[in-house]
Structure 1
């Protein structure tokens, strides 16, 4: 199995880029199409400058998400997205301040973000593979 993956490394890296960005593209689109609602949510989490935070989230999740799927400036954008993802975990999913079901839901989202950050760091090291618009 490992040999088959290695033999098709460029396809596997493309699949990894798509899978890593799928959630960001969905949530980025939701933020883009409900800017006011997202801004309210950002304010409720204590995000600084909620409207600006919303705009940054849209650019990162949707804009950078598309760029990474397409393989454009993959290494620097994957690193930037890793920092963004870790930052959103620390700002938006402070499970240690919560109790009950809300604590558990935020704990899962915090560690989901941490896991995605790990995948993005690997992408920053490996690069986009052969199937990319900009190497």
Structure 2
């Protein structure tokens, strides 16, 4: 079990990660045609399947992060997704312009760091301030 202060920190971390994913998912949904074009320009296979999956993962994943629902498996799924988007969307190794290459490298490494945050959620769980925490059994020892 986590201490109350730990649950508060985990909640803030979940919200910080959720903002990025909710904003990204909603932005992709509102500019769907442009998002599909971007994916095609990056050579993403089966864009007609990948694009709606990306929108759903980001939007629902962000919502589940806020609510603290199924955080351990969600953390793993979002870590894998974030690494995949780093490889497909921030391919710095294919950029010849040094300024753009540096920019893509920074975005790639940020995705790696975000994936690390999701892996931590796999370990910590959602904390008490969550649906998962509300559903967890409590011992009679005040934990």
TM-score by length of 2: 0.86
> 1:87 and 2:84 equivalent?
yes
Deviation at 1:56, TM superposition (A): 1.1
State the alpha-carbon separation in 1 of the partners of residues 23 and 4 from structure 2: 31
> 1:99 and 2:91 equivalent?
no
State the alpha-carbon separation in 2 of the partners of residues 31 and 116 from structure 1: 19
Query: Which segment is superposed worse, 111-120 or 56-65?
Result: 56-65
Q: Which stretches of structure 1, 4 residues or more, deviate above 2 A after TM superposition?
A: none
- Give the equivalent residue in structure 1 for 2:116: 118
Q: Cα RMSD over matched residues?
A: 1.2
- Give the equivalent residue in structure 2 for 1:40: 37
Whichever structure has more helix as a proportion of its residues is: 1
Unaligned runs of 5+ in 2: 134-143
Q: Compare CA radii of gyration and give the structure with the larger one.
A: 2
Count matched residues: 130
Unaligned runs of 5+ in 1: 1-5
